[in-house]
Amino acid sequence: MKENFLHFIWKQQLFDFKKLTTVQGERVKILKPGTLNTNAGPDFLNAQIKINELLWVGTVEIHVKSSDWYVHQHEIDTNYDTVVLHVVWEHDTNVFTKSNRPLPTLVLKDFIDKSVLHNYYKLFIKNENWIPCASQITEVDSFILNNWLERLYFERLERKALFVQSLLEEINNDFEAVFFQLLAKNFGLNVNGEAFLSLAQSFEFSLIRKVRHDKTILSALLFGQAGFLEDVGEEPYFLKLKTEYQYLKRKFQLRPLFNGQFQFFRMRPSNFPTIRLAQLIALYHKYANLFIDVMNINSLEELYTYFSVEVDLFWKTHYTFENSSKKSNKKLTKSFIDLLIINTIIPLKFIWKRSRGEALNEDLFAILKEIKREQNTIITKFSEVKIVAQNAFDTQGLLELKSQYCNSKKCMKCAIGNFLLRKV
C-alpha cells in the first residue's frame, strides 16, 4: 500500500463515509476533506471534521501505519499540532497529542470501497505492462480520453514554452535569435540536436544577419563553426569555404566546435549533419525575414511551400565533403517540416503571441490537427493497445502521457487512471 494512493482515496472520498468511526469509537463526519498540501507539513489543510458532533477545523495527516507518525518524528514538529484526524491504512499504535489524549484515528481499510481496492491492485501490483493500464485503457470513455489528451497537449506545449522562455532570457528576448537556435536544434533531430544548438549559440546571431545575403560566407560560417572545415581536403568547394572561414575566424574571433560532437554513425545519409546544415543555410540565405514570415503564416500548405528550399549545388552531389554521390535535390520532406512545426514553430509562436498580449487563435492548433500522426515506437505501442492517434495533436498528447505519467506511474494524477480506479 502506498501513501499517495491513500491521499487519492481521501481526496476523492472513495469510501463509505456514512458510518465512519475512529479506533477510539468516536463517530466521524467529513464536512470538508481539506486541500492537498504540496509543501511541508500535514497532508490536507483546512479540513472540517465532526467528531462526536463537535466540529473541528484543522489539518488531516495520512499514513500507511499509525506508527509512521513517530517514524517521521511528527511528535516534535509543531506543524502537526493542528492535526484533528489521523487517517491510516493500518492501526498499529496509539498516537497522543501534546495534551496527552489519543489523536482521533480513522482506519481507511475498514471503510474503503472494495472495487476501488481491486482496481488499485490491478493497476499497480505485479503489473509489468508497457503502461499500467495497457489491458484496461480501451474501457475508458472516449470523451474522457479525448479531453485528457487535449489537456496533455497543452501541458506539453507549456513545458516546451519554458525552454523557449529560458533561451529568450539568455539573449534579451531576441525572438529572431531564439528562432535560429530552436531551428538549429531541431534540424539536428534527437541525435545531433544538442550539437546543433551549441553551434547556434557559439556566435552572436547578429553575424547571421550580416552574412546571410552571401551563401558562400554563410556556409563558411556555419560549416566552419561546426568544425567541419578543420579537416584536410582537396575539394575546391571545401577549400573555398575553408579560406573564407579563416578570414571570418580572425575578424570575429570565432572558436569552432569539435566536429566529433556531430554523429554520422548509423544515420541515414539524408539526416547527416552536413546535409541538415546545408538545408538550414539554404533557408537563411533565401529569406531575409524568416522569423516574421513564419510567425505570420497560418496555413500548413504555405509552410510546406515556404520551407521547400534548394541546397547548394555541391550538396546535391555530396553527403559529406569527402565523397561524391548520385545527384539528388535533398529538399526538406513534409515529415521533416512537420517536426519543425511541432517542435519549433508552434511553441515559439505560442510564446511570441503571449508576449505581445495577442489571443491564441484556432489557426495555431488547426495546423497541428492537419499534420499526420507521428511515427515512432511510442505511438506504435499505443496503437497496439487500441489507442490510435488521428493526427499530430493526438500524438503529442500521447507522448506527454507516456513520458510524464505512465513512466512514473502517476495514475492517480491521470484522468485515465482516475476513471479506472473509480470504476465499479
- Taking the C-alpha atoms of residue 276 and residue 352, their distance in angstroms, rounded to an integer, is 26
- Taking the C-alpha atoms of residue 161 and residue 154, their distance in angstroms, rounded to an integer, is 10
> Residue 57 pairs with which residues in a beta bridge?
48
- Taking the C-alpha atoms of residue 185 and residue 195, their distance in angstroms, rounded to an integer, is 8
Each residue of 331-350: pLDDT tens digit? 999 999 999 999 999 999 99
- Taking the C-alpha atoms of residue 385 and residue 366, their distance in angstroms, rounded to an integer, is 27
Q: For residue 84, report the phi and psi dihedrals to the nearest 5 degrees.
A: -105, -15
DSSP 342-359: IIIIHHHHHHHHHHTTPP
- Taking the C-alpha atoms of residue 60 and residue 45, their distance in angstroms, rounded to an integer, is 7
Grid cell of 117 as nine digits? 481496492
- Taking the C-alpha atoms of residue 135 and residue 66, their distance in angstroms, rounded to an integer, is 35
Each residue of 384-394: pLDDT tens digit? 999 999 999 99
Average per-residue pLDDT for the chain: 93
Each residue of 282-321: pLDDT tens digit? 999 999 999 999 999 999 999 999 999 999 999 999 999 9
- Residue 137, classed as helix, strand or coil, is helix
- Residue 62, classed as helix, strand or coil, is strand
Q: Say yes or no to pLDDT of 412 above 90.
A: no
**Secondary structure letter of residue 311 according to DSSP:** P
- Taking the C-alpha atoms of residue 275 and residue 262, their distance in angstroms, rounded to an integer, is 12
Grid cell of 325 as nine digits? 554521390
| Cβ pair 14, 112 in contact under 8 A | yes
Average pLDDT for 115-135: 82
Q: Delimit the domains of the chain by residue range.
A: 3-112, 114-170+373-424, 175-370
User: What band does 38 get if pLDDT is binned at 50, 70 and 90?
Assistant: confident
377-384 vs 392-401: helix axis angle to the nearest 10? 90
| Cβ pair 123, 410 in contact under 8 A | no
- Residue 324, classed as helix, strand or coil, is strand
Q: What is the pTM of this model?
A: 0.81
Q: Say yes or no to pLDDT of 409 above 90.
A: no
